[in-house]
Amino acid sequence: MDGLLIGPATRKQALVASVCALAMLLTLTLAAPRARDALPGIAPFMAMCALTVFTTSSIAAFLLGARFAATRVAMLAALGGAYAFTAVAVALQLLMFPGVFARAGLLGALPHSAAWMWVFWHGGFPALVIVAELVRKRLPAPPFARERLEARGWLLIAVPAAVAALLGVLVTQVDLAPPFQEVANAVPSSESAFASAVANNLAGLVICALNLAAIALVLLKGRLRLVLDLWIVVALIASLVDAALNALSIERFTVGWYVARVFSMFAPGVLVCVLVWEVSALYRQLAEEHATLIRASARDALTRVYNRSYFDEQFHQAFDRATHSARPLSLVMVDVDHFKRYNDAFGHLHGDACLGAVAGALAGTLRQPGSFVARYGGEEFTLVLPDTGAHEAATLAERARAAVEQLGIPSPAAGGLVTVSAGCATSDAIVAASPNALIEAADAALYAAKHAGRNRVRAQASPEASP
């Protein structure tokens, strides 16, 4: 069961993803000219965004790892590695950022440690998506190499997380030059400001280029055929918008800074939503298949009416409900007349077909909700009739007997047709009565019908069970 994520994309799913992508590109178009416009500062906003990215990236990595464990699709493990890398990188960036947890940052952060972790975070994600696309064809899942593939797949998740941790060590041990340079002496909304911002933020340009390359590779190799392809492209576009706005404005609390942070949350969040949606869909499918299995296990394989196990369970429940609600419950025992003689004359295959036809005729006479037909054993059937009094049960049993006779199945017995005998018993919720007592009463009525000449109905009141 491949599931939703690596299943073929429908037209509706493609439309939703396209709308999301266009909305993000439109937001970039509208925000870019005002990227350096100052807005009121909200100090906790960056920490909130970073914690959101860490949480959603961790969840995405976990869910993708779980999907890899179930499907052995190596690309899912590689994507899990991309999000594991993001989770570790953003956590380190938040811890190192000056003023969040400590004046100069934690973990021995140097002046530009947090900025470099931002660069590694935003550059590493599209780079690892490119790795995932290359792994799509390089690591198939042959049955004979399952164990080996599983080990390599977990490495695709663990290694990027370890690399992110090592990069964190690097930026705290080596005093690197600042990755970004502020633009001075430029009017914020002028064209020269944009040109200067782009020229002085080479790291931002490299990150944008990586995102574009990753988008192109997904389009080239996947061609948006899978649901996964659609939403990975959407996540990459969100990452591209984030990087582009940061390249235009590195100052905090500007239009570009705020919008970029929103899109940094969207990049892992969109795939988490799809993965949770997939889990919900799989649970729903599992519940439906379980219900189908339960229904199938309750049916008699030969006659397709309910089997003895279902009768034993449901009849006792129906009896308890009738007792508590002081409503009548009727039981009709039906037996095919001279069935052994029929089997001896025509063979077991014809005998099986005969039983199936009889069961269908009996089921066709039931109209009341809650009533059902079950194969009690051999050529014997039961009709369970909740909220049905003795007179109504006898009438229905006679209708069932006539329905079988009208099938016109030839029989070697006297009369020339296959017929049935039926015995009815009705419980009026007598406290001392029991399900077994009602069965015995219906069975006694059935034998009375047989002794009276067969092809007829007899009724008997439900006896009280002995204490």
Catalytic residues: 379
Could you identify the residue written with the tokens 């007592």? 437
Question: Could you tell me which residues come within 8 angstroms of residue 323 by beta carbon, excluding any fewer than 6 positions away?
Answer: 427, 429, 431, 433
- Residue 324 CA to its chain's centroid (Å): 39
Q: What is the rounded distance in angstroms from the CA atom of residue 155 to the CA atom of residue 223?
A: 27
Helix axis angle, 227-248 to 74-96, nearest 10°: 30
Q: How far apart are CA 258 and CA 241, in angstroms?
A: 12
Instruction: Report the distance separating Cα 352 and Cα 361, nearest Å.
Output: 14
Cα–Cα distance list, 318 to 323, 327, 432, 440 (Å): 9, 10, 16, 16
Tokens, residue 268: 């892992």
- Secondary structure class of 445 (helix, strand, coil): helix
Amino acid letter, residue 377: G
Determine contact, residues 390/283, Cβ cutoff 8 Å.
Answer: no
* CA pair distance 110, 178, nearest whole angstrom: 11
What is the number of other CB atoms lying within 10 angstroms of the CB of residue 462? 24
